[in-house]
C-alpha cells in the first residue's frame, strides 16, 4: 500500500533501510525537529487522517507544510531568553486515506492516487 511504497521503494533510493514512517499526529516540537533535520532525504509522514486528528495537531501540520514550501524559519524561545531558529527545509512525503483540502496546500503539493 501507501506505506510500503515509501518504505520499500522510496527510502532505499536514499540509502535508508529498516526505518519506520513518522505519524501525522507527532507533537509540534517533534514535527519541527523532523522538518528541519534534512535537506535531501524526504521525511515520510504516514496515517494522514484529518477526521481522526485533534484540530490543533492538524492545524500545526498544515501550517508546517505551507511554511516548508518557502523554506521559512520557525523560532522558539528558551528559558534562558535565547532564541533557537529552525529552518524548515525537508522534502516531505505524506501518505493517508485522504489528501488535504486546503487551497494553499493543494497549490503546493503533488498528489498521487
pLDDT in tens, 68-108: 999 999 999 999 999 999 999 999 988 888 889 999 999 88
Strand 92-96 relative to strand 22-23: parallel, antiparallel, unpaired?
unpaired
Name which residue leads in pLDDT, 8 or 79: 79
Cell of 29: 516540537
- CA 79, CA 62: separation in Å to the nearest integer? 27
The mean per-residue pLDDT over the stretch 14-31 comes to 86
* 1 has pLDDT over 80: no
pLDDT for the residue 79: 94
- CA 87, CA 49: separation in Å to the nearest integer? 26
The domain spans of the chain are: 20-106
Name which residue leads in pLDDT, 91 or 21: 91
According to DSSP, the residues that pair with 46 across neighbouring strands are 23
Helix (H) or strand (E) holding 59: helix 55-68
CA 7 from centre of chain: 16
CB neighbour class for 40 (10 Å; exposed up to 12, middle 13-18, buried from 19): exposed
pLDDT for the residue 7: 81
pLDDT in tens, 25-68: 889 999 999 999 999 888 899 889 999 999 999 999 999 999 99
Amino acid at each position: 500500500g501507501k506505506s510500503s511504497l515509501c518504505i520499500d521503494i522510496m527510502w532505499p533510493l536514499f540509502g535508508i533501510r529498516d526505518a519506520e514512517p513518522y505519524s501525522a499526529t507527532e507533537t509540534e516540537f517533534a514535527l519541527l525537529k523532523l522538518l528541519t533535520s534534512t535537506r535531501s532525504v524526504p521525511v515520510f509522514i504516514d496515517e494522514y487522517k484529518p477526521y481522526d486528528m485533534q484540530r490543533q495537531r492538524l492545524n500545526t501540520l498544515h501550517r508546517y507544510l505551507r511554511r516548508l514550501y518557502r523554506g521559512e524559519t520557525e523560532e522558539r524561545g528558551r528559558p534562558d531568553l535565547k532564541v533557537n531558529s529552525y529552518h524548515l527545509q525537508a522534502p516531505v512525503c505524506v501518505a493517508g486515506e485522504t489528501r488535504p483540502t486546503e487551497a494553499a496546500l493543494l497549490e503546493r503539493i503533488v498528489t498521487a492516487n
